[in-house]
Amino acid sequence: MGFNIALQKLSETDFKFIVDNGKRSSILNGFDFETLIYCRWKFLKERLPELQQLGDFELLVLELFADRGIYLFRTDVSNMDSNDVFALVLWVKDQMESISKMEQEFLVSATDPDMMAAGINELHQFGDLNTIDQLAGGDILKYDAVKSLRYNVIFDKQYKMNVESKIQKKLIKIQSSKNKK
């Protein structure tokens, strides 16, 4: 029986219990995914949430393998042990939550009051497009190239830019205080 079908047969109570208490594993079919940060940005930030929302976990597993260069058939995934597939799906859920927390901790910084007054918050409506646009240098023709990069590469670049921005702000303050003397 396929994993999606087995999942549909669970009661809501059983499903919630398994989500809260079920075994998590980054290993499926002998392959260790280690961490999701090595996925392509587009898969991690766009496709994976879409597949979770759809509840098509067999396709999620199939595409997760494909993102790592391992190409399987859907029947291969359907024939995998449902407990093992669900352990990977729960691990994916946990990884997505960890990545979100990591982004909040390392990539979000206090907004400068002058930037707030200028309306920087209006850019929030564009979500992740802000990141892609910045990394593409504003060139829409480079968006796909940026999205094809591994998430960890994009995260590291964003973190570096964040640190550089903080240093630049401190330098401006230091120079400003020296000029006042």
Distance CA 151, CA 157 (A): 10
Structure tokens at 13: 């109570």
- What is the number of domains present in the chain? 2
Q: With helix as H, strand as E and coil as C, how does 9-32 read? A: CCCHHHHHHHHHHCCCCCEECCEE
Tell me: do 117 and 96 sit in the same domain.
no
Tell me: do 89 and 153 sit in the same domain.
no
Whose tokens are 């504003």? That residue is: 138
Q: Is residue 45 part of a domain?
A: yes
pLDDT tens, residue by residue, 59-118? 999 999 999 999 999 999 999 998 899 999 999 999 999 999 999 999 987 777 777 888
Cβ-Cβ contacts under 8 Å for 169 (sequence gap 6 or more)? 112
Tell me: do 66 and 83 sit in the same domain.
yes
Q: What are phi and psi of 88, to 5 degrees?
A: -70, -40
DSSP state at residue 110: P
Other beta carbons within 10 angstroms of residue 170's beta carbon come to 10
pLDDT band, residue 25 (cuts 50/70/90): very high
Tell me: do 155 and 95 sit in the same domain.
no
Tell me: do 71 and 139 sit in the same domain.
no
Q: What is the pLDDT of residue 14?
A: 75
Q: Is residue 117 part of a domain?
A: yes
Residue 68, domain extent:
3-8+22-106
Q: Is residue 86 part of a domain?
A: yes
The predicted model scores a pTM of 0.84
Pairing outcome for strands 31-32 and 27-28: antiparallel
